[in-house]
Amino acid sequence: MSGLTHSSQQPFAARLYAAHVPTAGVVVQARFFGESLHIDAHPDLQIPCAQVQADASGFDGQTLSLSWLHGDGRVALQPVDAVAQAALLATAPVTLQPALKNWRRGVRQQSRRWLTLKLAVAAVIIAVLLALAAFALSFGALVDWLAERVSPELEAQLGASSFAQLRAEHGLIEQGPLVDAVSSIGGRLTAGSRYRYHWAVKDDPSVNAFALPGGYIVVHRGLIAAAASADELAGVLAHEVQHVERRHSLKGMIHDAGWAAALNLVLGNASGVASTLIYQAGALSYSRDLEREADHYGVMALVAADIDPAGLARFFRTLMAQTPETVALLSSHPASAERIAAAEHEIAALPPGHVYLPLAIAWPPAAVPVQ
User: Which one from 240, 325, 338, 344 is the annotated catalytic residue?
Assistant: 240
Q: List pLDDT tens digits, range 207-252.
A: 889 998 899 999 999 999 999 999 999 999 999 999 999 998 888 7
What pLDDT is attached to residue 2?
39
Mean pLDDT to the nearest integer, 158-169: 84
pTM > 0.85:
no
Residue 359, classified by CB atoms within 10 Å of its CB into exposed (0-12), middle (13-18) or buried (19+), is: buried
pLDDT higher at 286 or 12: 12
What's residue 113's pLDDT?
Answer: 77
| Domain ranges within the chain, ordered by starting residue | 2-108, 149-348
* pLDDT confidence bin for 142, thresholds 50/70/90: low
CA separation for the pair 345, 343 (Å, rounded): 5
Distance CA 239, CA 207 (A): 15
Q: pLDDT tens digit string along 269-320?
A: 665 555 555 545 555 667 778 888 999 999 999 999 999 999 998 988 888 7
CA dist., res. 178 & res. 344, Å (int): 28
Mean model confidence pLDDT for the chain: 81
List all residues 6 or more positions away from 47 whose beta carbon is below 8 Å from its beta carbon.
Answer: 36, 37, 68, 70
CATH code for the domain defined by 2-108: 2.30.29.30
Residues 115-121, mean pLDDT to the nearest whole number: 80
**174 given a catalytic annotation:** no
Q: What's 200's DSSP letter?
A: E
Indicate whether 349 pLDDT > 50: yes
d(CA 228, CA 219): 15
**Would residue 25 be called left, alpha or beta, if left means φ above 0 and alpha means ψ between -120 and 50 degrees?**
left
